């Protein structure tokens, strides 16, 4: 036998009813739990048939006899969202072990004793009598929530405005998040992580409200947490589930809009890299895609597109895939977000104004990402190199410098796979410490010494000379900017 209670009723309220003569055996810290059902069950595991917020009443047949099973019984009911357990005195209740009572105290799960003189039907009647709200009011709330579909189709409300309306209709504060606790929809706050269920199959009842999954193609997209608003009349689980459906539809619309903008952004970035847009047209395109203020170009390697999209969800950007590299254009804040991705290697250009040609920025980002790969750093920003900043931007000048100083060595490396240039660069980067450079190259110090002599002979430059050293170092940095090393 069960009765549904539509009015918000707490365990503490039931204790105040003199006719029930209820006493608290344990779990007194949870007396403010809401009671929406009064249900008799003599099953050791009734949870498959529960929705949450029920008060379970038993003559004791359901209560196991061992300490471990008693504790497991109580924890199972609490995990299912049961608001209280009421035990009939002097019938079939076995001796209650300290472990059972301790679990009730730890979890704030009220365990009540019902005198033999008080039948369970009396408790159910009191619960029913406490109901002041007629079912039609909840039905009206459900129908108005369905009206949100019309708002979405005709009024094109912003997400935040839409959910504020749903909060007023439902009597709940609404929170949305991904399974990881990140924002799910713009303008809707995320809940306290402690309120999130462990799985999508968990009971929906939580302290002060409900937590239900937001479904999407491919699996749950996240959770909706609805918490009862002070002074409001909560409309119940059915309305919360309808709001979750609205959230799923809104999420689908937002994702579709983002995908459309992403495709348009990729096309725009491709045209900018090809330098086929005039500055004014480029600025208009970027402004329409919410790219304003100083911007930067990034080249990203060693990361999946899904990981990149997930990390950059809150920032405006354009994304273009080119083979194994991903080009990003957006505010300089993109750098920090990209650098936080595990295993990433990224290079970032200097900041520049929207509408400027991307030719220089592309060279800078490509050079920087090569440095990131070589050094193992997640992000290298062009311009942080104290030597490279003094090199000219003109690729013709850089190419002439490389050819003049390194040309013979480059050709020798290509013909003999001799690794002269990388050996010289590593030796210079380690302040001419031969042992350290040899260890980094995984070769014997004598092999490195031979390569240094061979390079000096091919380039015609004695690396013990400060003048020659400086010229070779600048040429190596220029080769890096051109993507040759």
Residue among 438, 435, 431 at smallest CA distance from 463 = 431
One domain, residues 248 and 146:
yes
pLDDT in tens, 429-458: 889 999 999 998 999 999 999 999 999 999
Structural domain total, the chain? 4
One domain, residues 155 and 238:
yes
One domain, residues 87 and 143:
no
One domain, residues 242 and 319:
no
C-beta separation of 63 from 87 below 8 A:
yes
Q: Residue 1 above 70 pLDDT?
A: no
Q: Residue 134 above 50 pLDDT?
A: no
In this predicted structure, which of 33-37, 137-141, 396-400 has the lowest mean pLDDT?
137-141
pLDDT band at 460 (very low <50, low <70, confident <90, very high): very high
Strands 296-301 vs 325-330: parallel, antiparallel or unpaired: antiparallel
One domain, residues 298 and 242:
no
What percent of the chain stands above pLDDT 90? 47
One domain, residues 227 and 148:
yes
Per the domain annotation, does 269 fall within a domain? no
Per the domain annotation, does 346 fall within a domain? yes
**Average model confidence (pLDDT) across the chain:** 86
C-beta separation of 234 from 228 below 8 A:
yes
Q: Residue 132 above 70 pLDDT?
A: no
One domain, residues 399 and 369:
no
User: What pLDDT does residue 408 have?
Assistant: 94
- More confident of the two residues 370 and 70: 70
C-alpha span between 313 and 184 (Å, rounded): 10
One domain, residues 14 and 113:
yes
Per the domain annotation, does 103 fall within a domain? yes
Per the domain annotation, does 268 fall within a domain? no
One domain, residues 375 and 402:
no
pLDDT band at 143 (very low <50, low <70, confident <90, very high): low
pLDDT band at 53 (very low <50, low <70, confident <90, very high): confident
Per the domain annotation, does 390 fall within a domain? no
One domain, residues 334 and 422:
no
One domain, residues 168 and 246:
yes
pLDDT in tens, 179-217: 888 888 989 999 999 999 888 878 787 888 889 999 888
Q: Residue 95 above 90 pLDDT?
A: yes
Per the domain annotation, does 452 fall within a domain? yes
- What CATH code is carried by the domain that includes residue 365? 3.30.70.270
User: What pLDDT does residue 240 have?
Assistant: 86
- What CATH code is carried by the domain that includes residue 470? 1.10.10.2840
In this predicted structure, which of 131-140, 197-206, 309-318, 461-470 has the lowest mean pLDDT?
131-140
Q: Give the domain extent around 158.
A: 135-255
Which residue, of 107, 129, 151, is where some domain finishes? 129
Q: Residue 387 above 80 pLDDT?
A: no
Q: How many CB atoms sit inside 10 A of residue 172's CB? A: 25
Q: What are phi and psi of 221, to 5 degrees?
A: -85, -20
Per the domain annotation, does 265 fall within a domain? no
Q: Residue 393 above 70 pLDDT?
A: no
User: What pLDDT does residue 138 have?
Assistant: 52
One domain, residues 56 and 42:
yes
Which residue, of 100, 129, 158, is where some domain finishes? 129
- What CATH code is carried by the domain that includes residue 10? 3.40.1390.20
Which residue, of 129, 154, 181, is where some domain finishes? 129
Per the domain annotation, does 174 fall within a domain? yes
For the chain, the three-class secondary structure string (H helix, E strand, C coil) is CEEEEEEEEEHHHHHCCCCCCCEEEECHHHCCCEEEEEEECCCCCCHHHCCCCEEEEECCCCCCCCHHHHHHHHHHHHHCCCCEEEEECCCCCCCCCHHHHHHHHHHCCCEEEECCCCCHHHHHHHHHHCCCCCHHHHHHHHHHHHCHHHHHHHHCCCHHHHHHHHHHHHCEEEEEECCCCCCCCCCCCCCCHHHCCCCCCCCCEECCEEEEEECCCCCCCEEEEEEECCCCCCCCHHHHHHHHHHHHHHHHHHHHHHHHHHHHHHHHHHHHHHCCCCHHHHHHHHHHCCCCCCEEEEEEECCCHHHHHHHCCCCCCEEEEECCEEEEEECCCHHHHHHCCCCCEEEECCCECCCCCCHHHHHHHHHHHHHHHHHCCCEEECCCCCCHHHCCCCHHHHHHHHHHHHHHHHHHHHHHCCCHHHHHHHHHHCCCCHHHHHHHHCCCHHHHHHHHHHHHHHHCCCCCCHHHHHHHHHHHHHHHHCCCC
C-alpha span between 457 and 12 (Å, rounded): 92
Q: Residue 3 above 80 pLDDT?
A: no
Residue among 272, 282, 280 at smallest CA distance from 319 = 272
């Amino acid at each position: 036998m069960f009765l549904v209670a539509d009015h918000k009723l707490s365990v503490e309220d039931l204790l105040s009813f003199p006719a029930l003569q209820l006493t608290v055996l344990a779990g007194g810290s949870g007396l403010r739990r809401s009671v929406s059902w009064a249900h008799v069950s003599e099953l050791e595991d009734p949870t498959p048939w529960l929705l949450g917020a029920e008060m379970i009443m038993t003559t004791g047949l359901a209560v196991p006899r061992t300490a471990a099973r008693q504790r497991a019984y109580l924890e199972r009911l609490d995990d299912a969202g049961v608001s209280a357990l009421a035990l009939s005195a002097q019938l079939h209740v076995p001796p209650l072990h300290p472990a059972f009572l301790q679990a009730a105290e730890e979890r704030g799960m009220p365990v009540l004793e019902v005198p033999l003189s008080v039948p369970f039907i009396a408790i159910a009647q009191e619960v029913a009598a406490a109901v002041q709200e007629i079912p039609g009011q909840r039905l009206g709330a459900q129908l108005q929530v369905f009206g949100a579909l019309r708002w979405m189709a005709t009024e094109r409300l912003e997400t935040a405005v839409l959910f504020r309306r749903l909060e007023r209709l439902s009597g709940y504060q609404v929170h949305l998040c991904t399974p990881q606790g990140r924002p799910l929809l713009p303008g809707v706050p995320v809940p306290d992580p402690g309120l999130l269920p462990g799985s999508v199959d968990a009971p929906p009842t939580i302290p002060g409200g409900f937590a239900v999954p937001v479904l999407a193609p491919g699996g749950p997209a996240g959770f909706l947490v609805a918490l009862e608003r002070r002074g409001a009349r909560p409309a119940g689980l059915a309305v919360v589930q309808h709001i979750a459906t609205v959230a799923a539809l809104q999420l689908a619309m937002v994702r579709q809009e983002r995908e459309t903008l992403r495709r348009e952004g990729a096309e725009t970035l491709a045209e900018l890299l090809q330098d086929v847009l005039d500055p004014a047209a480029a600025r208009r395109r970027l402004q329409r895609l919410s790219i304003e203020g100083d911007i930067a170009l990034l080249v990203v390697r060693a990361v999946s597109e899904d990981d990149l999209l997930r990390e950059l969800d809150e920032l405006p950007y354009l994304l273009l895939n080119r083979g194994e590299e991903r080009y990003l254009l957006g505010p300089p804040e993109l750098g920090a977000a990209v650098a936080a991705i595990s295993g990433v290697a990224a290079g970032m250009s200097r900041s520049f104004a929207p509408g400027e040609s991307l030719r220089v920025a592309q060279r800078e980002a490509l050079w920087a990402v090569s440095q990131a790969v070589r050094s193992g750093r997640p992000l290298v920003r062009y311009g942080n190199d104290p030597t490279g900043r003094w090199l000219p931007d003109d690729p013709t000048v850089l190419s002439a410098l490389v050819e003049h100083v390194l040309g013979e060595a480059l050709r020798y490396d290509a013909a003999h796979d001799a690794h002269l240039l990388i050996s010289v660069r590593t030796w210079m980067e380690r302040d001419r410490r031969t042992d350290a450079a040899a260890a980094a190259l995984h070769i014997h110090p004598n092999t490195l010494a031979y390569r240094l002599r061979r390079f000096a002979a091919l380039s015609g430059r004695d690396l013990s000379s400060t003048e020659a050293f400086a010229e070779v170092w600048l040429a190596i940095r220029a080769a890096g900017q051109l993507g040759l090393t």
